Structure 1
Amino acid sequence: MMYTLYLKRDSLLHSLDPRVKIVGSLLSVVVLILFNSPVLLFSLFLLIVLTLVTLGKITPREIFKVLKPLIPISVIAMIIWPFILKPWYFGLFIGFGYGIRLLSVALVTLGLIMTTPQRDLILGFIKMGMPYEIGLTLTIALRYIPTLYMLAQTIMDAQKSRGLELERGNFIQKARNTIPILIPLIVASIKTAHELSIALESRAFGASKRRTFLHNIEMKTKDYIALGITLASFLFAVYMRYFLGIGYIKLF
């Protein structure tokens, strides 16, 4: 069974050219890397959420659903920093920023997938000069992340119904309890990869260097406006960081 993160909506973000969203996502990640101030990073995180809610018509519940698997990793990142920086409350403050940065980068990437169909995403990469093979590989990899995640959840529920207790025991026991989850997941992944290779061969993938497309994309006026706003916002962020010194805290 296939799963997808794409959410069909009648919104401005969904209607934009995928190249604009790809460029915007890449620049957003760069901006998140430029700053390390927890206050500014938290503000950017709220801005990303607000953009997805207002311009993408994605509900906060749907956003929380895709970020939920990353929350434990973000919390671990927050906990580690008090052991690196002294005093501990300063380390916790900086750790909070890095945890929020992790969630923000993930949300930017997931937001691109949630608002762009797979077909348009491939076309966007190809129109930007990426070889078709690489574009397809990247898109398939992004496409199968939610599939494997939902498959793992299904396997876990099935094993729990058979009496497997994943939460009980010490760390070693919990690690052993994951074996009944990993083995079926690996087998299912290999089977899925085999079926995918058969599907590609049946469609004569790689038989011709020149490819044609049933659907095409083209930039419209609103796309150029959105791209201009995105570039202007990125330049303003760079100006804030390197010329005004805003949003960066010296750690060492």
Structure 2
Amino acid sequence: MIYPFYSEKDSLLHSLDPRVKIIGAALGIAAIMLYNDPKILIPLFFVFLLIGMFLGKVAVGEQLRLLKPLLPIVIITIIVWPLIYEPRLKGLLFGISFATRLLTFALITFLLLMTTSQRDLILGFVRLGMPYEFGLTISISLRYIPTLYILSRNIMDAQRSRGWEVEKGNFLVRAKKMTAVLIPLLVASLKTAHELSIALESRGLGASEKRTFLYDIKMGRRDYLAMGVILVLFALTLYARYGLGIGHVEIYS
């Protein structure tokens, strides 16, 4: 079973054409890549939180809950940078920058998935020129993220009920104990992938080179206006970065 991100709501982001949201997400990620100054990246992270709350009607708590599995990577990033870069304070700032960038990447992706149905997402990729099989693969891959997370949590809860204690012991002992989770998770993932392949074959995937769609998408006035706003904002980020030199700190100087 694939647990979806998407939930039907009456919001501006939900009503936009999926092509607008896909291009907007791609440009948003590209814009974040331009900056490495935490004074820019941290406010941008909160800006996307507010976009999700006001334009997508997705509560801030729900957005942060989806980012929770990334906390170990965020903590490791913040800890490692001061150890490998001197001066330590500047290394800490770079650690915060890259951790914030990671969280913002994930947040933008989650907002796309939470406000776009799987059908529209695939159709959006196809209408942008991507082969249907590639669009379907990307969509399923993105939608499979919550499935793996929920499966891992269920397996860990089941193992704890059997007396599994991963918190005790040194790093090597804990890593060995994690096999009690990784092996069932791998088996469940392979089983789900097999069932998914059977379902796709039973529906004739690949039987015809030219596909038809029961539902189609069409750009409206609101979509063109939103696309224009996105392009203007991206142009402003390019000007701020390369024209004004804002938001970039030299790592190696």
TM category, shorter:
over 0.9
What letter matches 2:217 in structure 1? I
Alignment correspondent of 2:69 = 69
Alignment correspondent of 2:204 = 204
Alignment correspondent of 1:186 = 186
Alignment correspondent of 1:136 = 136
TM-score, normalised by the number of residues in structure 2: 0.97
What letter matches 2:163 in structure 1? G
1:39 shift after superposition:
0.7
Supply the distance in 1 between the matched residues of 2:5 and 2:24 (Cα, whole angstroms).
Answer: 19
Supply the distance in 2 between the matched residues of 1:85 and 1:192 (Cα, whole angstroms).
Answer: 43
Supply the distance in 2 between the matched residues of 1:53 and 1:233 (Cα, whole angstroms).
Answer: 19
What letter matches 1:69 in structure 2? P
Alignment correspondent of 1:11 = 11
1:2 shift after superposition:
3.0
The alignment partner of 1:29 has SS state of helix
Q: Residue 2 of structure 2 contacts residue 143 of structure 2 at CA under 8 Å; is this kept in 1?
A: no
Instruction: List runs of 5+ in structure 2 lacking aligned partners.
Output: none
The alignment partner of 1:214 has SS state of coil
Identity %: 54
1:4 shift after superposition:
1.2
1:172 shift after superposition:
0.8
Alignment correspondent of 1:91 = 91
CA deviation profile, 1:118-153 (whole Å, cap 9, x unmatched): 000000000000000111111111111111110111
Which 4+ stretches in 1 moved above 4 angstroms?
none
Alignment correspondent of 1:165 = 165
Q: Residue 25 of structure 2 contacts residue 109 of structure 2 at CA under 8 Å; is this kept in 1?
A: yes
Q: Which residues in structure 2 correspond to 1:6-155 (within 5 Å)? A: 6-155=6-155
What letter matches 1:13 in structure 2? L
Supply the distance in 1 between the matched residues of 2:98 and 2:7 (Cα, whole angstroms).
Answer: 28
Q: Which residues in structure 2 correspond to 1:204-223 (within 5 Å)? A: 204-223=204-223
Supply the distance in 2 between the matched residues of 1:204 and 1:84 (Cα, whole angstroms).
Answer: 53
Instruction: List runs of 5+ in structure 1 lacking aligned partners.
Output: none
1:96 shift after superposition:
0.9
The alignment partner of 2:163 has SS state of coil
1:7 shift after superposition:
2.3
The alignment partner of 1:57 has SS state of coil
What letter matches 1:87 in structure 2? P
The alignment partner of 2:111 has SS state of helix
Q: Residue 155 of structure 2 contacts residue 184 of structure 2 at CA under 8 Å; is this kept in 1?
A: yes
The alignment partner of 1:163 has SS state of coil
| Number of equivalenced pairs | 252
TM-score, normalised by the number of residues in structure 1: 0.98
CA deviation profile, 1:72-124 (whole Å, cap 9, x unmatched): 21121111111232221111112111111110011111111111100000000
Supply the distance in 2 between the matched residues of 1:8 and 1:166 (Cα, whole angstroms).
Answer: 38
CA deviation profile, 1:19-72 (whole Å, cap 9, x unmatched): 000000000111111011101000110100000001001011101110000112
